[in-house]
Structure formats: structure tokens, C-alpha cells
Amino acid sequence: MVNLAGNPREISLSTYLAALFISAVIFAAGIYVGKVMETGNLATLSSGIDSANNKMNSVEMLYLMGEDSPAICPVYRSELHNLDAQTEQLGYQISYLEDKGTRDPELKKSYFMLEASAYLLSQKVMAKCEADYAANYSTVLFFYNNSNCPNCTQQGYELLDVKKRLGESLRVYSFDGGLGSDIVDVLKLKYNVTTYPSIVIDGNRTISGFHNNDWISAQLNATQNNTAISAPSG
Amino acid sequence: MTTMGSFWPIEYLTSFICLFVAVLMTLVYLKNRQKIHEKRHERRGWTPMVSVIIPAYNEEEYIAGCLESVLALDYPKDKLEIIVVDDGSTDDTAKVAGEIAKKNPHLWVMRKPNSGKADSMNQAIAKAKGELVACLDADSYVSPYSLNRILAHFDSDDVAAVAAGVKVRKASNLIEEIQRIEYLYALFSRRIMNMLNAVTVTPGPFSIFRREVIIKVGGFDKTSLVEDQEIALRLQKHGYKVNSSADSDIYTEIPHSFLELMKQRTRWQRGGFWNAMKYLDLIHPKYGDLGIVILPFGVFGYFLLVFSLLVFADSILVHSHYEQFIGMQAFFLGLNPLHILVLVWFVISFFWFFFGIRPMFKEEKIGLPSVLLYLFLNPILTAIFWFSAAYSEIKTGGKFTW
């Protein structure tokens, strides 16, 4: 007669406890290292914003110095282009981190301040050096709210698609209206933004509600055509 | 600053469970490493009658080589019976085997209409004379010493089966090399499972069973897609033990291309899933570590798979919009605490490789690039095979075909 002992337990309670303890230590260490890396990422972004701010200060200085000289327009254009590229990258990185779950409201506020300043400066420069900016250069201000706007995330993605299509001829400035940032509130007042999502095309046309990328592209084209028609020749 | 992804609490919990099981198994290994690496080459004077059953369906390419290896076994000929079950082959399998049988009186060929491997085994077991029956896939080759080494693991009367140490015969491309490493990892982990009385598969190439017990528990399951796993679980449900031999050196042919591999693994995954569902009642403390850790973690694996696919889909479909604008920055910015745990998983896998697998299989040349390839590609391949298995289930409505 075979004695069927079945499957006796081989792992003792102490082994289970040891595994639990070691796992907990590794897990805690992993989370700690991860948090340190996360903090490092945010610090890198923060210093990126500082560096962009410095660049903007120098463009501002340039603007003040060359107020009456149209010959300086190509320099503005080049400097603003660099500043825009840097600011845009910072925005993508902040949005990417946010998508991954890492949020830092203070960092975003300082980014919005940079973005708003860069936008206002570029508007001034464009007005002054109209001939140096191609007619097909557009700006879009995108106002969203992360906490109470189901369509805002998708609207952001639609604008990314438009950006992918138009490349450097479009500059999108995004602003989170739910953060309590003073500069964003001022811009909302200036462009009469009352709901989310809203976009402002070329600083003169505010459109509320969700719109897909084809629709936005068509609106940008229409605006550009109008500009092209009304632009002085020669 | 806050961290809040869509699934983060489940991500953290599942990661912790995976880490816990990996650490637990490593501790089990460290505690039992001498036994795990122990070589058992003597059958201690025990020479039972053994029937080697070779079910074959259209195996004319391999059957001669397979039989040649069995005939060269270092075992008394009067204690060895070899049965080739020609399962309705449409090629010359029976003819090739018949020619060899003419010169070897202890080898005979049983011909029958096609009815599948499990039924072929059952019919042969009913006619076999051996106290033990060895199941041998026709595309596999045994080493002369393999039978003695496997018999050495029948160390008590309640051991109903011993899983053979199956290795890949030849690896000459990437798909084959990944499988070669995978087989070695599987063999090693099966030895750890042996320490826990939790071996969950008796692979087709040369696993050996007590004939009387197989008949008592109802033979191989004709409805299972992976009958070699089903029988291992059923034996343990009936209170028997299943052991594993790592150094018996059985060499098997493997799928040569990705599509062949996908076909094989789709069947394995589907069969494995239904076996797990069939034996959910083994998840119980009365089945020891098998019921407390191994099977629960196996079932948890299904949840993990579905969850991982959800997270993957979420990251691709919902959260991948900004990556194209920031390039490589995405990699560094995307690192989070859970990625550290992936690193820990790699460290544990390497620990097993350097301290477990490499010393255990000294004769196998295992290069670090191969191991790295395996560790990176295996999870991806597994996910693909799972997709294929799920699709196949839906397409066939759960109907099993080989």
C-alpha cells in the first residue's frame, strides 16, 4: 500500500517572512530611487525654464535697444525662433511627465509665465517686423483645464496633430486655466476665454469648445489667406 | 509634486507580488542549492521493466534517429520494451520503424487510426508490459545514461512520475537560440519546483510514469491540448508526487521559425489556460506550496498578462502623443519607480543564470548575449503568443485541434 503524502509544505513561515521583508526593502528602495530620479527630472526642467527666461531677457533687451531700427528684425526672428523651440520642448516634456502621472503645479506656473512672456514678446516683434515674418506663420493659444474638462486632453492631442502637420509655421502656447496662475487669468481676460477648451488664433479670434485637427487646420488656413490678402505688397 | 498614473495602485501591487515571488524562489534556491545541483546517476540496483512508448504521426524524418538513441540506452535489453505507436501517419513512419523492429525483437510497432497523442499513449499503456512507462516524442533523442538518471529520481513509492531534463538539440538561428536558453531556465526552475513538490509538467520527451498509477488516474486526457501538463497536475491531485531530473539530457527538435513557434506556443498557452481552470481546486493549503504559491501565482499570471496589455495599450494609445516631439528625452523622463523593479527582476534573472543555470549545465555553451536576448525578447514573444492564443480561442469557440 503506497502512502500518499501528497504535497507537504516545504517553505517555512520564516522563509515567507524573510521574502516579505527583503521584497519590502527592495520595493521601498526602488520607490526611493525612482522618486529621486523624478525630482531630478523636475529640477532639470526647472533649470531649462530658467535658461529660457535668460534667453528671453536678452531678446527683450535687444528689442529695447533696437526699437527704431528695422535692420535688427532678422536678429529678432532668429532669437525668437530659438526661444520658441526651447520653450516648446519644455512644454512637451512637462506634458509628457504629466501624462505619465508626474505633476508639479509650481513648475507649470513658472512655465506659463515664460510662455506668456514669450508670446507677448513675439506678438510685439511680429507687429514691428511684419515683413520678416512669412504670411503663413500662425500662433494658437490653447486654454485647458486639467481638473474639470473631459475634452481638454483630446483637444491637446488634436493640436499636436496640427503642429505635426504645419511644423515651424505654427506655434502653440498652452495654458492650464485651473492652476490659479495670474498670468493665465490675465490672458483669459484679454482674449475673452470663459470655457474650456478654447483656442485663440493669431491673437484675434477666440474659439470655444472641442474641435478636431482638420477643422483647426482649415481655420488656420482661412486666417492665413485673409492675412495674405490683406498684407501689403512689396 | 504628485505621481498619479491611470493604474498606479494596481501597478504597484502587481509589481510587489512579482518581486515577492521572485525573492521567495531565490531564497528557496539558496536554501536547497545543494539538493538542486545534486547529480543522481545511480538507480540503486533497481531495474524495473520499462516500456518506452513513442507516439508518432508523420515522423518519418525523425523516427529512425529517435529509435537509434533508444536502442543505445544503457539498460538491460530484457527489461526494456519499445513501442512505436503509428497514429495513422500518411507518410512512411510505420515502414521505417517496422524495418528497425525486424532487427530488434524488443521493439514493436502498433498501428492505429489517427486519434491524437494522448489516446495513442493510453492504448499503448494498456498493452505495455513495463512497471514504468516512458513517453517519448518521436522528434526527440535520449542519451545512453538518461534512463538510469531518471530512475534515480523515483526515490519513494509515492513518486508517480519523473519529468525528464529536456534540452534543445540544435540551435542555429535566433528563434532557436532563445528556445535553447528558455529550456535551460525551465529545467532549472523545475528543479526548484521539485524542492517544493510543485512540478507542474512532465514534458513529452521521455518523462517516465508508473504504469499502474497512470491507469488508476484514468490515463492521459484526450481533450487537453497539453496533456503532459494535465497529467502532472492530475497526479498531484490524487496525492502522488512528481519529481524532476535536470541532468538526464534528452534532446528535442524545436520549431525553427517564428511562425512554427507561434503555432506551438499558441497551443501550449491555450492548453495551459484550460488546465489551470480545470485544476483551480488545487489552490488550497492541503496541496502544500503548489496550492499556496505556485498555482496561485500561475493564475495571477493571467491577470498580470491582461493588466500588462491594458497598461501597454494605455501608454501607446493614450499617452504616447508627446514622445515623438521629445525623442530620447522620453526614455529618461519616463523612468519611474516601477522601472527600478524591472531592473531588480533582471538582477535576479542574472543571479539565477550565473549561480544556478551556468553551473548546472556546464556542457552547454551559454553566452551572455544569448541570455540578454532571451530576457528581453521572451516577455515580448510571450505576449504575442498570448494574443494569438486568445484570438484562436475566440475563432474556434474553444474547440481544440492540434
- Check pLDDT > 80 for residue B8: no
Whether the predicted pLDDT of A32 surpasses 80: yes
Cβ-Cβ contacts under 8 Å, B338 against chain A? 30, 34
CB nearest A10 (choices: B196, B285, B287): B196
Chain A nearest-CA residue for B340? A30
pLDDT beyond 80 at B336:
no
- Same-domain status, B314 and B345: yes
Domain map of chain A by residue range?
40-129, 134-228
Nearest CA in chain A to B329: A93
Per residue in B153-170, is it b (16+ CB within 10 Å) or e — as a string?
Answer: bbeeebbbbbbbbbbbbe
Please tell me the predicted confidence (pLDDT) of residue A18.
96
Q: Based on the domain organization, do B81 and B126 belong to the same domain?
A: yes
d(CA B52, CA B208): 9
Residue in B3, B24, B197 closest to A7 by CB: B197
Task: Name the pairing type of β-strands A198-201 and A138-144.
Answer: antiparallel
Give residue B13's domain range.
8-36+285-396
Q: Is A229 on the interface with B (CB under 8 A)?
A: no
Determine whether the interchain pair A102/B236 forms a contact, defined as Cβ–Cβ distance below 8 Å: no
Give CA angle at A197 (A193, A200), nearest 5°: 50
> Are both B16 and B110 inside the same structural domain?
no
Residues 83-142 of A with CB under 8 A from B: 88-89, 92-93, 95-97, 99-104
Q: How confident is the model at residue A219 (pLDDT cuts 50, 70, 90)?
A: confident
Residue B264 lies in a domain: no
- Looking at CATH, the fold of the domain delimited by A40-129 is given as Methane Monooxygenase Hydroxylase; Chain G, domain 1 (1.20.58)
Please indicate, yes or no, if residue B265 is contained in any of the structural domains. Answer: no
Over 90: is that where the pLDDT of B302 sits? Answer: no
B217 has a pLDDT exceeding 80 = yes
- pLDDT-derived band at A234 (thresholds 50, 70, 90) equals very low
User: Which residues in chain B touch residue A19, judged by CB atoms under 8 angstroms apart?
Assistant: 20, 23-24, 27
Nearest chain B Cα to A19, which residue?
A: B24
Would you list the DSSP string of B231-242?
Answer: HHHHHHHTT-EE
Q: What's the whole-number mean pLDDT along residues A27-43?
A: 86
pLDDT of residue B76: 94
Higher pLDDT, A40 or B213: B213
User: B44 and B17 in one domain?
Assistant: no
pLDDT interval class at A231 (50, 70, 90): very low
Residue B270 in domain: no
Q: Over the stretch B78-100, which tens digit does the pLDDT of each residue have? A: 999 999 999 999 999 999 999 99
> What digits encode the pLDDT tens for the residues A115-174?
999 888 888 887 777 766 655 678 899 999 888 888 898 899 899 999 988 888 888 999
Judged against a pLDDT cut of 60, whether residue B348 lies above it is answered with yes
Which tens digits make up the pLDDT trace of B22-79?
999 999 999 999 988 888 777 677 899 999 999 999 999 999 999 999 999 999 999 9
In DSSP notation, chain A reads ----------S-HHHHHHHHHHHHHHHHHHHHHHHHHHHHHHHHHHHHHHHHHHHHHHHHHHHHHTTT-GGGHHHHHHHHHHHHHHHHHHHHHHHHHHHTTEE-HHHHHHHHHHHHHHHHHHHHHHHHTGGGS-TT-EEEEEEE-SSS-TTHHHHHHHHHHHHHHHGGGEEEEEEETTS--HHHHHHHHHTT--SSSEEEETTTEEEES---HHHHHHHHHHHHHHHHHHSPP-
Whether residue A101 and residue B332 make contact (CB cut-off 8 A), yes or no, is no
| Average pLDDT along chain B | 89
How far does the CA of residue A80 sit from the closest CA of chain B (Å)? 19
Taking a contact as any Cβ pair under 8 Å apart, which residues of chain A between 178 and 217 contact chain B? Answer: none
Domain membership of residue B199 (yes or no) is yes
Regarding whether B145 and B226 lie in a shared domain, the answer is yes
Query: If you average pLDDT over every residue of chain A, what do you get?
Result: 84
- Smallest Cβ distance to A11: which of B238, B293, B326? B293
What is the ipTM for the molecules in this complex?
A: 0.82
The alpha carbon dihedral of B206, B207, B211, B217 has a sign of negative
**Is A202 exposed, middle or buried (CB count within 10 Å of its CB: 0-12, 13-18, 19+)?**
middle
Domain shared by B251 and B385, yes or no = no
Q: Tell me which range, A8-12, A82-86, A228-232, is most confidently predicted by mean pLDDT.
A: A82-86
pLDDT band at A31 (very low <50, low <70, confident <90, very high): confident
For residue B299, tell me if it sits in a domain: yes
Question: Cβ neighbours of residue B206 under 8 Å, at least 6 residues apart?
Answer: B134, B135, B136, B140, B142, B146, B150, B164, B166, B248, B250
Q: Is position B82 within any domain?
A: yes
Considering the domain architecture, whether residues B143 and B240 belong to the same structural domain is answered as yes
- Whether A13 has its CB under 8 Å from any CB of chain B: the answer is no
Residues B242 and B354 in one domain: no
Q: Please, which pLDDT band fits residue B345 given cuts at 50, 70 and 90?
A: confident
Q: Say what percent of chain A tops pLDDT 90.
A: 33
Looking at the structure, tell me whether residues B176 and B312 fall in a common domain. Answer: no
Burial of B250 (0-12, 13-18, 19+ CB in 10 A): buried
B331–chain A nearest CA distance, Å: 11
On whether residue B266 sits in a domain, the answer given is no
Choice among A117-131, B184-198, B225-239, B240-254 with the minimum mean pLDDT: A117-131
Are B31 and B51 in a shared domain?
Answer: no
Highest mean pLDDT among A32-46, B31-45, B244-258, B362-376: B244-258
Average pLDDT, integer, range A89-95:
89
- Regarding whether B341 and B227 lie in a shared domain, the answer is no
What's the pLDDT score for residue B4? 43
- CATH, residue B209: 3.90.550.10
Backbone angles phi, psi at B284, to 5 degrees: -160, 140
Q: Which CATH class is domain A134-228?
A: alpha beta
pLDDT computed for residue A227 by the predictor: 55
What are B85's strand-pairing partners?
B55, B110
A15 close contact with B: CB closer than 8 A: yes
Probe site for chain A from B18, B23, B25, B235 (most A CB atoms < 10 A): B23
CB contact under 8 A, B339 and A99: no
B31–A2 C-beta distance less than 8 A: no
Using CB atoms and an 8 Å cut-off, which of residues 16-35 of chain A contact chain B? 16, 18-20, 22-23, 26-27, 29-31, 33-35
Q: pLDDT per residue over B314-326, tens digit each?
A: 777 766 677 777 7
**B1, A38: Cβ pair inside 8 Å?**
yes
pLDDT at B159 over 50: yes
Residues B38-43: contacts with CB under 8 Å, at least 24 apart: B39/B247, B40/B149, B40/B152, B40/B153, B40/B245, B40/B247, B41/B145, B41/B148, B41/B149, B41/B152, B41/B247, B42/B148, B42/B152, B43/B148, B43/B151, B43/B152
Domain count, chain B: 2
Give the per-residue pLDDT at A134: 54
In total, the C-beta contacts within 8 angstroms joining chain A to chain B are 145
Confidence of residue B121 (pLDDT cuts 50, 70, 90): very high
Residue B186: predicted pLDDT: 94
Q: Residue B358: CB partners within 8 Å, gap ≥ 6?
A: B366
Q: How far is A72 from chain B (nearest CA, A)?
A: 31
Question: Inter-chain contact A11–B28, Cβ cutoff 8 Å?
Answer: yes
Whether pLDDT at B2 is above 60? no
Contact B338 A34 (CB under 8 A): yes
Work out the pLDDT band at A232, boundaries 50, 70, 90: very low
**Average pLDDT of span B156-171:** 94
Which residues of chain A does B290 touch, with a Cβ-Cβ cutoff of 8 Å?
7
> What is the structure's pLDDT at B93?
94
Say what the pLDDT of residue A209 is.
Answer: 92
Residue B400 has a pLDDT of 62
Is A102 close to B2, i.e. CB distance below 8 A?
yes
In a domain, B1, yes or no: no
Residues B245 and B346 grouped into a single domain: no
Cis before B105? omega within 30: no
- pLDDT above 90 covers a percentage of chain B that reads 67
Question: pLDDT, tens digit, for every residue of A189-216?
Answer: 999 999 999 999 988 889 999 999 999 9
